[in-house]
Amino acid sequence: MLNIIYEYSEVTHEKLKLYIINTPALHKYFKLDWNILKSRQYCGILNFEGEDFYLLPKISNKDNDEKQNLNTFIYMLMYAYDIKLQNEDISTCQNESHTILEVFIQLYAKKLFAELQQGIYKEYITEQENLTTLRGKYLINENLKTNHIKNKIYCEYDEFSMNNELNQFFLYAVKSLMLFAKDKRLLMACEIALDEVEIKSFDINYLSIHFHRLNARYKESFEFALLLLSKSIPLFAKDKKSFAFLFDMNELFEKFIGRIFKELDPNTKLQNQKNFGNLQLKPDIITTNMIIDTKYKILKTKDDLATNDKYQMFVYGTNFGIKNTMLLYPKHLEHFDYEMRLGKDEREIGLKIKSIDLGFDGGYSEFMEEIKNRIGELR
């Protein structure tokens, strides 16, 4: 039986509640109000003292339908981030001994190790070293500064080496993910394969690795590592090993819906930023005839529609010159299909307020086919 905490619901496990309240790293993911602790719109895994808690979106209309809610969350991750899980991998996520994070780490390690077995990427690295024989270029100034005896020569040379930035990042990722993994065997195999690579730390927010013809096959592994590292939250203290692996559903919903629109209409633009004077605008989705903004919010009635959201769509429509706009919400309690007019005369903009039902009881392929059909009906 999985430990489930649904989005926007109260955390009733007293020890976990106290831990969250006393752990600043988790405060952005939960809301404390009059001693009632509720989850926000973040979903994934929270491991506390060796026990896993799933934070899930409430998608299914059926009571206690943990499997469908978990599967839908996994399917959205798979499609949004192009993660290729097999049916047995998805079933494994429903097992108490394997979480989404564990399955993703094993998938990453398997993919990276297969690439390393095909051949570790090497590139020419410029080295400077004090040698007994001349190699490459003789550095006169460095030699005068460093060598006070005649049996050394300070040289600069190029070496075809695996000790480059890309492999250093992979080693950093492997060592970081070992902290979260239960089964470390594949990660250790990757570490051994990179035994000649220097250990370095990286700030993943400021990485700039260039991909080209010679290292392009590693790009998927690189992007997968970035995803795992960016969503993993270490909460290690003394002898206790706790961590979280959480996705902002605002971000996931936008990415998931955007990719579907792009697949249905290749001319669709995602996150297309433009400047209009001092005004910088970046709508989520622009199709050939509509601007769409995704909103992962609970909308109970159309009266809950935020005024700022209406202003936002009016500004998008008037500046991009597109008269049709849409606010798209996930279906929670109610289904929404409203239309209204914003502005007047030649500046009038049409706004649709719609919801998309993400609930579906079936496999990944059938789920995606059904959701694409539902999206197609919205256009």
The SS3 assignment for 221 reads: helix
Tokens representing residue 25 in the block: 């790293």
pLDDT tens string 225-236: 999 999 999 887
| Full-model pTM | 0.86
Q: Widest CA span of the chain, in angstroms?
A: 88
pLDDT beyond 70 at 61: no
Contacts of 233 (CB under 8 A, 6+ apart): 25, 26, 243, 244, 245, 246
For residue 280, the one-letter residue type is Q
The SS3 assignment for 11 reads: coil
Dihedral sign (CA 111, 117, 120, 121): negative
pLDDT tens string 85-133: 887 777 877 666 678 899 999 999 999 999 999 999 998 777 777 776 7
pLDDT beyond 90 at 279: no
Determine contact, residues 291/312, Cβ cutoff 8 Å.
no
Tell me how far apart the alpha carbons of residues 144 and 123 are, in angstroms, rounded to a whole number.
Answer: 30
pLDDT number for residue 240: 63
Q: Mean of the pLDDT values across residues 75-79? A: 95
Give the pLDDT band (50/70/90) at residue 143. confident
pLDDT number for residue 64: 61
Determine contact, residues 379/290, Cβ cutoff 8 Å.
yes
Q: Which one, of 292, 253, 306, 235, lies nearest residue 42 by Cα?
A: 253
Give the pLDDT band (50/70/90) at residue 316. very high
pLDDT number for residue 63: 60
Looking at 194-198, 205-209, 262-266, which range is the least confident one? 205-209
The SS3 assignment for 287 reads: coil
Tell me how far apart the alpha carbons of residues 30 and 11 are, in angstroms, rounded to a whole number.
Answer: 9
DSSP string computed for 32-89: EETTEEEE-SEEEEEEETTEEEEEE----SSTT-HHHHHHHHHHHHHHHTT----HHH
176-205 as b/e: b if 16+ CB within 10 A: bbeebbeebebbebbbebbeebeeeebeee
Looking at 60-74, 137-151, 259-273, 326-340, which range is the least confident one? 137-151
* Average pLDDT across the chain, whole number: 88
The HSE-up count of residue 22 (CA atoms within 13 Å, CB side) is: 8
